[in-house]
Amino acid sequence: MKLKSLNILLILSGVLLGISCWSQAQSTKKSISIKVPSIDQEATSIWRTIIDINFLEQQGYKINLPKDDLIDSLLVKSKKGNFGNDDFSPIYNLLESKIYNNSNYKKALEKVQNQEQLINDIIHQINLSKRNWTWDFKMFESYDVVFTLYGSGGSYDPDNGTVTLFTTLEGDFMNYKKPANTIIHEIVHMGIEESIIRKYNLPHGLKERIVDTIVYILFKKQLPNYKIQNMGDTRIDDYLKEKNDLNKLTSILEKYLKLK
C-alpha cells in the first residue's frame, strides 16, 4: 500500500512539475521578432514619410530622409500635392544603387536584443492586465520589430502587428537611449487603435497623450525614463491617474468627451 501511495505521489509531482514548466514557458514565450529591413521596406518608409510631410511638419516631428537631390525634389512635389505611387520606383532605385547596406542596422539590432526579454515580459504583463479591462485591447501572438533609418521616430501597423523603429548608423533611437520605450509605445498604439482611437475618432494629440499615459501608469518601474509628450488636452490627466482607471477607459473617455 505504501509503495502504491508513493507511486501516486510521484505521478502527481510529475504532473504539477509539468504544469509549472508549461506555465513558465508560456510566460516567457517569445513575443517580438527583430528584423533588418529590406530595400523595399526602407523605400516604403521613405515614400510614406514624403507623402505625409505636410502633416509631420505641422506636428513638429523631426524628419529623417536620405540627403539626395532626388529626395529634395520629391519633397517639393509632395508639398504641391503631386506626389504618388509612381514615385516609389525612383526611391527604390536610389537605395539599391547608392545607399542601402544591411550592416547599417547592426548596432541597433544589438541594443534591441539586449532589451528583448524586458519587452517580452512587458507584453506578457499587458496580456494579464487586459483581462480586467471592460474594453478590447488588441494583441498579436508575435510583433515584428523592423528597423528604419528614415521617418519620424516610430510607427505601427495595427493590421499585422508590425512596429517600425527609427535608428541611426550609430544605433541611436529617437527620444530615448533605450529602444524598449518606443517599441512598447507603438504596441500600445496598436492595442487601442480600433476600440479607442477609431471608435471615438480621437485627434492626434489626444491619441498620443492617452498612449503615453497608459504606458507610464503600467510600466513606470520597468521603463523609468519613459515620459509623457507635451501633446493633447491635459484635462484627460485628471481622469487617468492609476491602473484601476484603465479598467474603465471607455466610460472615462465618454465622460471626458461630453465636457468638450
Which tens digit of pLDDT belongs to each residue from 127-168? Answer: 999 999 999 999 999 999 999 999 987 789 999 999 999 999
Q: CB neighbours (10 Å) of residue 5?
A: 9
Least confident of 4-18, 87-101, 191-205: 4-18
Please determine, for residue 96, whether its predicted confidence score (pLDDT) is greater than 80.
yes
Lowest-confidence range among 7-21, 55-69, 97-111, 121-135?
7-21
Rounded to the nearest integer, the mean pLDDT of the chain is 89
pLDDT of residue 15: 45
Round to the nearest angstrom and report the end-to-end CA distance of the chain: 75
Task: Using alpha carbons, list the distances in angstroms from residue 121 to 34, 46, 103, 118, 166.
Answer: 16, 32, 28, 5, 22
pLDDT of amino acid 27: 45
Question: CB neighbours (10 Å) of residue 198?
Answer: 11
What pLDDT band is residue 60 in, cutting at 50, 70 and 90?
confident
Q: For residue 260, name the pLDDT band (cuts at 50, 70, 90).
A: low
Q: Please compute the mean of the pLDDT values over residues 72-95 and round it to a whole number.
A: 97
Say which amino acid occupies 25: A
Per DSSP, the three-state class of 176 is coil
Segments making up each domain of the chain, as ranges: 33-259
10 Å CB burial of residue 54 (0-12, 13-18, 19+) is exposed
| Least confident piece of the model among 29-33, 60-64, 112-116, 247-251 | 29-33
The SS3 of residue 164 is strand
Count the alpha carbons within 13 Å of 15 in the hemisphere toward its beta carbon.
6
